Structure 1
Amino acid sequence: MFTAKDFIPTSYSQTLESGQFQWSAPSNIALVKYWGKKADQIPANPSVSFTLNNCKTITTLAFEKKINPDNFSFDLLFEGKPKEDFKPKIQKFFERIEIYLPFLKDYHFTIDTQNTFPHSSGIASSASGMAALAMNLMSLEKVLNPEMSEDYFYQKASLLARLGSGSACRSVKGEVVVWGNQANIEGSSDFFGVEFPYTIHENFKNYQDTILLVDKGEKQVSSTVGHDLMHNHPFAERRFEQAHENLDKLIGVFENGNLEEFIKITESEALTLHAMMMTSMPYFILMKPNTLEIINKIWKFRAETKNPVCFTLDAGANVHVLYPKTHKETVLQFIKDELVGYCQNGQYLCDEIGNGAHQIK
C-alpha cells in the first residue's frame, strides 16, 4: 500500500518532447455520502460509490515541451471551444499536484474535454472531468517513468483526481469504490479511492441507475461551500460516525445481497445529506417539489409491487433511481408512466455500473 509521499518522484529516466493521450472517465454516485472535508481534500468521513458507465467525460491532453518552464501553461477547450471560466480550477489543480508531477511547468498543454451527458444536465461533471485529466497526466508520467507498476499508476491517478475534486478519486478504477479510511476495509485510504476488496453478491452486478433530471440549472450552493459548512455544524460529529456505521453495514449487505437493507441504508444516506444542508448555517433546501413527488411515488410503487427499487440524491434536486438489472423492464415502465412528468423537459438518463476510466487509443 502506497502513502502520499511515495507518489513524489525524485527523477525520471526518459524524456518526451510532445504527444497526446486520450482517456474517458465516468461519473459516480455515492451510496454512503462524503460531506465535509479537511485540508488538502481529505474527507471528514469515508464514502462508497457505484461507478457509472455511460455518464462520462472524454478528455484529450496534447502537450509540447516549452523553452522556458517558468509557469503553468495550458489552453482549455470544452467540446472544441475555449472555456475560460474553467481555467482557474485547472490552475488551482496544477498548483496542488505540482509536487507529485514536477514536469508540469515543462510543457504547454491543450486540454480538450467533452461529456457524453448533456451540458448543464445537472449531472456533476467535476468527478469525471478531473479523473479523466488525471489519467492523461499519469499516461505522460508513465512514459517518463516506464518502470512504474499498474497499482502505482492507478492509485496515484486517484490521488491526483482527488486534489481536483474529492469524489473524482472514486471514478478511476473499480465498480464499487471506497474512499476514506475505514477500519474494517483493508487498504482503504483518505488519499485515494480503492476498489471494494470483499465479496459482492450477484444482486449488485450490473446494477442500474436511471437519473431523473428534475432541475438542470446551476447548483444553488457549490460543493466547496457545502463541505465548508460542516466545520461548525451542530450535528457534524454524529454524522461522521453514522457514515462509518453505514459503511460497515454495507460490507455485509454487499456480501449477502440483502436488497431491503441496501435500500434502507442508501435512502437514509441521501436524506441525511440533505438534512445536513438544511440544518447548516446558512441553510439550503436543494430538493425541489418534484424531487419529493418522485420520492413518494417510488415509495408507493415499492410498497405496492415489492419491487426493490430505491433512490439516492447528490447535493441537488435530481433523483438517481437504483434497481437490479433483473427488474429493469418493470422499473423503466414505471419511470415512463409515473415519473417522467416530474423531470425538466421529460429528460432522464439511463446508466448502470461501470468499472472506471479507459484509455482511448
Structure 2
Amino acid sequence: MFSEKDFIASNYSQVDTANFHWSAPSNIALVKYWGKKENQIPANPSISFTLENCKTITKLSATKKEGYENFSFDLLFEGKPKEDFKPKIQKFLERIVLYCPFLKEYHLSIDTENTFPHSSGIASSASGMAALAMNIMSLEKTINPSISDDYFYSKASFLARLGSGSACRSIKGKVVVWGENKENSKNSNLFGVEFSNIHSNFKNYQDTILLVDKGEKQVSSTVGHELMHNHPFAEKRFEQAHENLSKIKTILKEGLISEFIKIVESEALTLHAMMMTSMPYFILMKPNTLEIINRIWKYRTETQTPVCFTLDAGANVHVLYPEKDKEKVLDFIKNELVGYCQNEQYICDQIGDGAKSY
C-alpha cells in the first residue's frame, strides 16, 4: 500500500520534449461520496461504475524551459483557447507540485476535449482531471522509467483526486472503490482501488443518461461537500455508506441484481436527502426527475425488468440495467422517458475499462 510520501518523485532525469495522449472516462457512484476532509480526503468510502463513452481526451506536450520559478502552460479546449479553465489547472498544478516537482521544468501544452457536450450536465471534472493526471504520469515515466505499473496507476489516481475527488475513480475500471473501510486494508483514502471480483450478471452493465437539465449546477460539488460539516445527519450517513459499501461488494460478487437495485436507488435518494436537510438547503431534482423515477418504478413493477436509477448531485437520471435487457429498456426509454429530457437528449453508455493511451 502506497503512502503519500511514496508519491514524491525523485531520481528522475530530463528530456527536451515529450508528447502524450490519453483518454479517461467519467464514472457514476453507486455508493455516494458526500462530505470531505482537508486535502480531498473523503468523509466516507464510495464505489463506482467506470463508464465507457463519456470521456475526456487530452494531449500533453512538454518542452524543457529556462527558469523553474513558475508553472508555464497553455490550454486548448476543443481546439480553442479556454481562459476560464486556466485557474483550475493552475490550482491543480500547485496542489501536485510537491509530488511532481519536475513540472516546473517544462512548458506544458494541454489540448483537451470531451466526447459529450460540455453543457450536457455530466460532470467533466472527473474525466478531465483523470486524463490530465495520466498524461503527467506518462511524463514522469519518461524521465524515470523504473517506476512500476502499480505505482503509475496508483499515483495517477492520487493526483487526479487532488484535482477533483471523484476523478480518482476514473483511472481504472470496471468498478472502483475509494476510501478506507474496516473490512479491506487494501482500500485507500488517497487513491481509487479497482474491485475486480464482479459476477457475470454485471458484465457490460448499461447506463443510459437522461439529460433532464443541462444548465449550470445549482450548487457546486465543493459547496455541497462542505454542507456536510455540522450536518445533523452526517455521522449516521457516513455509517450508512460504510454498511452499503460492504453490502454492494457482496452483491457485485454474487450477482444479486434485485439487491443491487435497492442499495443503488437508496443511495441516490439519500444523497439528495442530505442536500434537502442541510443549511442552507437545496432541492436539486426537477419535476421531470421525479416523473422519470416514478415511471421507472412503475415499469419495473409491471414488467419485472431489473432496471433502476441513480443520480448525481443534479437533476439528470442515470438508468442502469443489464445488457441482456438493453433492447426492451431502450424501447421503454424512447417511448416513455425521453419526453422528460431537455430537448429529448440522452446518452447511451456502459461499464468501461478506465483510462486509455493513444
User: TM class by shorter-chain length?
Assistant: over 0.9
Deviates more, 1:252-261 or 1:265-274: 252-261
**For residues 298-337 of structure 1, what are the structure 2 equivalents within 5 Å?**
298-337=296-335
Q: Secondary structure of the residue that 1:93 maps to in structure 2?
A: helix
1:338 is matched with which residue?
A: 336
Query: Are 1:63 and 2:67 an aligned pair?
Result: no
Query: Are 1:53 and 2:34 an aligned pair?
Result: no
1:151 is matched with which residue?
A: 150
Separation (CA, whole Å) in 2 of partners of 1:247 and 1:263: 14
What CA deviation, in whole Å up to 9, does each residue of 1:14-35 have, x standing for no partner? 3111121110000000000000
User: How high is the TM-score relative to the length of structure 1?
Assistant: 0.98
What CA deviation, in whole Å up to 9, does each residue of 1:151-182 have, x standing for no partner? 00000000000000000000001200000001
What CA deviation, in whole Å up to 9, does each residue of 1:95-122 have, x standing for no partner? 1100110011111111111000112000
Q: How many angstroms does 1:3 deviate by?
A: 1.1
1:349 is matched with which residue?
A: 347
**For residues 156-175 of structure 1, what are the structure 2 equivalents within 5 Å?**
156-175=155-174
1:30 is matched with which residue?
A: 29
2:5 is matched with which residue?
A: 5
Separation (CA, whole Å) in 2 of partners of 1:313 and 1:152: 32
Separation (CA, whole Å) in 1 of partners of 2:312 and 2:227: 16
Q: Secondary structure of the residue that 1:246 maps to in structure 2?
A: helix
1:288 is matched with which residue?
A: 286
User: How high is the TM-score relative to the length of structure 2?
Assistant: 0.99
- AA in 1 matched with 2:251: V
Q: Secondary structure of the residue that 1:103 maps to in structure 2?
A: helix
What CA deviation, in whole Å up to 9, does each residue of 1:230-267 have, x standing for no partner? 01111000000000000010121112211111000000
Separation (CA, whole Å) in 1 of partners of 2:64 and 2:284: 45
**For residues 32-181 of structure 1, what are the structure 2 equivalents within 5 Å?**
32-181=31-180
Q: Secondary structure of the residue that 2:101 maps to in structure 1?
A: coil
Contact 1:210–1:322 (Cα < 8 Å) also in 2: yes
Separation (CA, whole Å) in 1 of partners of 2:253 and 2:20: 38
Q: Secondary structure of the residue that 1:174 maps to in structure 2?
A: coil
Contact 1:43–1:190 (Cα < 8 Å) also in 2: yes
RMSD over aligned CA atoms reads 0.7
Q: How many angstroms does 1:186 deviate by?
A: 4.3
Separation (CA, whole Å) in 1 of partners of 2:184 and 2:96: 27
2:228 is matched with which residue?
A: 230
Contact 1:174–1:194 (Cα < 8 Å) also in 2: no
Q: How many angstroms does 1:11 deviate by?
A: 2.4
1:209 is matched with which residue?
A: 207
Separation (CA, whole Å) in 2 of partners of 1:126 and 1:325: 27
Separation (CA, whole Å) in 2 of partners of 1:185 and 1:165: 24
Q: Secondary structure of the residue that 2:50 maps to in structure 1?
A: strand
- AA in 2 matched with 1:47: S
State the number of aligned residues: 358
Separation (CA, whole Å) in 2 of partners of 1:288 and 1:188: 35
- AA in 2 matched with 1:42: I
Q: How many angstroms does 1:10 deviate by?
A: 2.7
Separation (CA, whole Å) in 2 of partners of 1:297 and 1:265: 19
Separation (CA, whole Å) in 2 of partners of 1:296 and 1:174: 31
- AA in 2 matched with 1:22: H
Q: Secondary structure of the residue that 2:133 maps to in structure 1?
A: helix
Give the unaligned 5+ runs of structure 1: none
